[in-house]
Amino acid sequence: MSKREAFCEAACKENVKDFLNFMKLHKDKADPFDVEEVVQEMSRDQREGLWERLASLLRDTLLELPPERWEEGGEEGMVEESSVDPKDVMAVVEGVTVVATKSLKVLQNGDTYKALLEMTHQLHHVLVSLPVSEAHVPTHIHSLCEAWWKKGLLDKETFGRSALLLSLQKSFMLKKPGIEIQRIWSLHDVILSLDYASEDNQLIIDLLLQCCQSPTHIRNDDGKRLLVFLFSWNINFILLLHGTLKNQLEFFSKSMISNIMEIYFRAWKKASGDFLEKMESLCIQDFLQCAILLPKTSPVHAKVRQIVSYFHARKGHHRLEKMLYTLYRPILWKALNAPNFEVRANATLLLTEAFPIHDPEQNTQNIDATIQKQLDTVMGLLDDPHPNVRSIATLGVCKILAKCWELLPPAIITDFLKKLTTELASDTSSSDVRCSVFKCLSIVLDNTLSHPLLEKLLPTLKYSLHDNSEKVRTAFLDMLIKVKAVRAAKFWDICNTDHLLARLASDSHSVSKRIVDLLFKSFFPVNESEREWCGRCITLIQMNPTAARKFYHNVHKHTAPTNIIKLMLAIRRVLNCCIQTDFDDTEMNESNKENSMGDGGLLGKDLALVASLLEVVVILWRSVEKALKQNKEAQTYIYTKFGNVMSKYFSTFENERCTVALIQLASFMPPNAVPTFSCGVLSRLKRMDSGAAPTQYSQLLDCMCMWGQAADVLELITDWLTEALPKEGRENAKRKVQIMETAEAKPDLALDYLEHLFLHTSTREKVLAVGQGPLKQLHTVLGNWKSVLYTHLSSTSKDPRTPSVDVALKAFTYHGRLGAHLQNNATEGRGYLLSLTHVAAWLNEKVLPFLTASRDDTEGLEKLQPLAAQIIENFLTVCRDVVLVGLGDDTFKGEILHLCSLILLSETGHVCIPALLPVLKEVADSYVPDDDSQDEEQEGSTSVILGVVANIFQKIIELLARQLRKEPEKGKLLCQSALPGLTDFVQVAQTWDRAPLRGVFSTLFAIIIVENRHVLQKMTHPEEVVTPESVEDMPPLSRVLLSVILKTPSVTRAFLTEVSSSLDAEVIGSLTELAAILHVLAVIRHAGQSTASLKTAAVSVQRQLYTHAVAAVDSGDIQRVFYESSVKTLNVILDL
């Protein structure tokens, strides 16, 4: 028996196992059995017989286990209900599907395929009964339905529809749906057979619309083809399709919009008849209208502009020109005269971008008239009253000139450019317009035909370099750079070099770097000799020394480090002509040749020029410092060359500017390269007079740090501070200090040195790298200066041997600051935080009593209290910084807050309020309102600390109120000094929408209402009841607090939320209190902030106020006036 006959015999219920074996052989690539070959070799009758037997087998198999039960209860459930193995059932269905699919490939004209059709219908029933998945059975049936459609056989619409639906569904399920999208496109003709109005096809329509929302489908080439095709499926579907795409624009990226605009353009090109009319009127004109009417702040505006620009960029196509002319005609000209400036600006941009807009079917005369009308309109837009429109019109004019220069009459071109250069470039009403002129003239310069005319007009703009707006100056320089790049003119003919250098010397980095870009080749011609470089350098210095320094500060961005080093050595050779040194003849001869000034003696007499050259060398060296570190050979060479002459430079160039530059040069080199100078630096620091200016010692300190000798400086500082202490203050010192070169200690100068070392990052890093020993000793010595402060506090007479209070206060402050630095560098422990805690205890014990001194000693109190307050404020500032940089733990914060409480409880502690508020702000700011990472213990600790913060803030407000009552003038001054701290603290507090910091707003609300209620209660005459309009009309403390609240909208909203919650909780009861609240709300309304929250609070007041209506009428005159005034104010707030 042949394989064909055996295969036919196996296709029945009785021989199902043989059939399944045949299908396994078909899957086995190593076996020669192939279903397609077997079926192809069969006769027509054999094939029809095979199909009938397979249809019968499939029917019997599905009767035993219908597909609806395949998914019920898993395989175990199926086995219980039926003796048939579900795996065999699926294998039979899969095998039949494979045979049917292969049969379609060999189906010939005239074949009877009734049994094959029946079999396919049964398989189709299986397909629609199963959920969408990637399982083998539905995948094979899906391929069968797709093949049936493509073959064009009976009932192809049914099978094609199912194949399309399944492909659409799978394209949204798969991670990589590219193949399914390709299959959808291959089935796109199925869509034409669907009835758009039928509800049976609604699922497919929804899925097709979903393709418009899927970036994967839109990016895919076949997906784009599908969307383009959908615009030609049904005329009623166009609006739905366009609406879906338009709604998604907000969420699409710029690259996605590129695909969207390509889809629209291709759909428009393909459309014809009614479809074309719908595309243009419903889609393209809609985009044009949106591009005109949408404000720039709209998230869709830029996307719509991108789509419209795509159509504009393809102008030149006859049909597209006519379409734009037709669609723009009813909307563009109206928009150009609209009262809204944004509409006019958008329309101007579209007009100039699409220029010329004309109907190519018109005759030449009409086209010329249309274009002339557009040119006249654009010229008029340059005089628009709004600067935004003028700026965009400027951009449009320049684009038109760049694009259509050859086509426009010379008179029109000249008129446009004269308008730009003579009027708009000096538009005093708007810097944006002036800036736009220079930015857009760069566009015109791209057209070489414009160069002759612009060469004549641009020199009139030279004074724009000195425009008072930086962005205009920047744009002007960008235009000059463009002029230089395209060689339209000589930039120095447009703007004189002296002007450029003057601006380089005085302007910002943004402007300076552009001037350097412009002048670089003029003053650093890299293709010339080093002698020429040096000569240009001297010329530049002589023209403008400050500009020269800024020029060489930026020069490393334009040339290689090698050239910069060559210039440094060339300058060195010029400087060598001014000194007498033991050079060899070769170097001296070379130096004489390179000397561009001709006479070294003349250069030596001009010490200002010498100083400038040295400063240039310093600037250049600093710019190539990193490059030198990477090239040790070059670095050693530079060290040797400059080290050989440094001692002579120091002895010859004694001018102060020269000395400063030479010290900076010495700091770049190792100390052994400049031995004469380096050996005397520490001695010079020791001999420095107290009160010396920072310029005298700052660079010496920098040198010491650069040479790795920071430890010597620290030792000097420690020695001086220790020696200056009274004998009893030296007890904690770890060693006896000896100062070898001088017996005089200079503690004030030591602190100046210390301040400089810690003020700059480079020196601070060197100092902190010295090691714990010297730094810890210095920290201990600084801490001992507390005794000097206490001596000043407790002594009634001045001892000339005691260091000054200013020095002691400075040392005390640096003790805290140094402790913070050391704590930050510490790898473990909190020893230096503990030292700050000890200082807090010392303040509590020794200093705070002076804020509560006996009233019997009034004269002594007045003298000592300011010092005590200053000591406390300096310490609080250090603590604030410690918390600010994240060094303070919860224990430290708790101890500092305890000290704050003690300060406020002292008799005159209110004077420290301005210093206390920043501490509260930083403590509160160190916690995150919604930190999910905190455990319960941490959360409890946070609540405790913030609760203390809220209580201290309440105490501060109470003290401010008391001071305003006791001493109004001093109280006002205190409130003003506390204003910045209050503002910052309240800004942090508003980020918390729960306790304990919400209590801050309760405190603010309560004190403001109490103060205003007190003012109202003192009123006796109706004429006195006046609703305030501004913060200045409020009582003193309310004035300060409301000015804080109204500074930011978020704080205002938080305060109004507190007002509403207090009213809703019915804690406000009296009419006077409600009137006080309305006075506050009236002030907030006049400030124009938080309208929604304000009305919510007003509604809460309204509910309470109506309960007093009858009582107010029956009571005295003043209560009735309160009620009537409140109702009037309420109506104004609620716009009733």
Between 268-272, 733-737, 760-764, the lowest mean confidence (pLDDT) is in 733-737
The three-point CA angle 984-990-996 to 5° equals 105
Own/partner long-range contacts of 678-684 (Cβ < 8 Å, ≥24 apart): 678/703, 678/707, 682/709, 682/712, 682/713, 682/716, 683/741
Give the best-scoring range by mean pLDDT among 181-185, 1090-1094, 1121-1125.
181-185
Q: Give the model confidence (pLDDT) of 154-189 as tens digits.
A: 888 888 888 888 888 888 888 888 888 998 998 889
pTM: 0.73
Which one is predicted more confidently, 68 or 349? 349
Q: Give the model confidence (pLDDT) of 414-456 as tens digits.
A: 999 999 999 999 989 999 999 999 999 999 999 999 999 988 9
Q: What is the pLDDT of residue 397?
A: 94
Task: Judge whether residue 676 has pLDDT over 70.
Answer: yes
Q: What is the pLDDT of residue 584?
A: 42
Residue 734 DSSP class: S
The pLDDT confidence band at residue 1116, using thresholds 50, 70 and 90, is: low
Task: Judge whether residue 602 has pLDDT over 60.
Answer: no
Task: Judge whether residue 860 has pLDDT over 50.
Answer: yes
The C-alpha R_g of the chain, in whole angstroms, comes to 44
Q: What is the pLDDT of residue 745?
A: 84
DSSP track, 126-160: HHHHSPS---HHHHHHHHHHHHHHHHT-TTHHHHH
Task: Judge whether residue 743 has pLDDT over 90.
Answer: no
Residues, the chain: 1136
Average pLDDT over residues 218-238: 91
Q: Which two tokens stand for residue 172?
A: 């949204």
Task: Judge whether residue 481 has pLDDT over 90.
Answer: yes
Q: Give the model confidence (pLDDT) of 289-326 as tens digits.
A: 999 999 988 889 999 999 999 999 888 778 898 999 99
Return mean pLDDT, the chain: 85
Task: Judge whether residue 567 has pLDDT over 90.
Answer: yes
Task: Report the first-to-last Cα separation within the chain, whole angstroms.
Answer: 101
DSSP track, 82-102: -SS-HHHHHHHHHHHHHHHHH
Residue entry with tokens 């733990």? 889
Task: Judge whether residue 593 has pLDDT over 70.
Answer: no
Closest residue by Cα to residue 417 from 469, 373, 382: 382
The pLDDT confidence band at residue 253, using thresholds 50, 70 and 90, is: confident
Q: How many CB atoms lie within 10 A of CB 330?
A: 10
Task: Judge whether residue 853 has pLDDT over 60.
Answer: no
**For the chain, the helix, strand and coil percentages under 3-state DSSP, each to the nearest 5:** 75, 0, 25
Q: How many CB atoms lie within 10 A of CB 316?
A: 8
Helices 999-1017 and 1049-1064 cross at an angle (nearest 10°) of 70
Q: Are 441 and 454 in contact (CB under 8 A)?
A: yes
What SS3 class is residue 1078? helix
Q: Which two tokens stand for residue 849?
A: 């009593």
Q: Give the model confidence (pLDDT) of 499-522 as tens digits.
A: 999 999 998 999 999 999 999 999
CA–CA dist 407, 409 (Å, integer): 7
The pLDDT confidence band at residue 933, using thresholds 50, 70 and 90, is: low
Q: What is the pLDDT of residue 228?
A: 93
Q: Give the model confidence (pLDDT) of 683-712 as tens digits.
A: 988 988 888 888 888 989 999 999 889 999
Give the best-scoring range by mean pLDDT among 145-149, 545-549, 832-836.
545-549
Average pLDDT over residues 814-826: 89
Chain-centre distance for alpha carbon 236:
44
Which one is predicted more confidently, 1064 or 311? 311
Q: What is the pLDDT of residue 124?
A: 81
Q: Give the model confidence (pLDDT) of 89-143 as tens digits.
A: 888 888 888 888 888 887 877 677 788 888 888 888 877 777 766 577 788 888 8
What is the percent of the chain where pLDDT is above 90? 35
Helix H or strand E encompassing 191: helix 189-192
The pLDDT confidence band at residue 69, using thresholds 50, 70 and 90, is: low
Task: Judge whether residue 68 has pLDDT over 80.
Answer: no
Residue 804 DSSP class: P
Own/partner long-range contacts of 792-798 (Cβ < 8 Å, ≥24 apart): 792/867, 793/846, 793/847, 793/850, 793/864, 793/867, 793/868, 793/871, 796/860
CA–CA dist 564, 232 (Å, integer): 67
Closest residue by Cα to residue 815 from 785, 838, 770: 785
Between 69-83, 317-331, 723-737, the lowest mean confidence (pLDDT) is in 69-83
Q: Are 288 and 247 in contact (CB under 8 A)?
A: no
Task: Judge whether residue 590 has pLDDT over 60.
Answer: no
Between 62-71, 119-128, 188-197, 627-636, the lowest mean confidence (pLDDT) is in 62-71
Longest CA span, the chain: 133
Q: Phi/psi at 317 (nearest 5 deg)?
A: -75, 125
Q: Give the model confidence (pLDDT) of 998-1032 as tens digits.
A: 788 889 889 998 988 888 888 777 777 788 888 88
Q: Are 292 and 338 in contact (CB under 8 A)?
A: no
Q: How many CB atoms lie within 10 A of CB 263?
A: 22
Task: Judge whether residue 599 has pLDDT over 50.
Answer: no
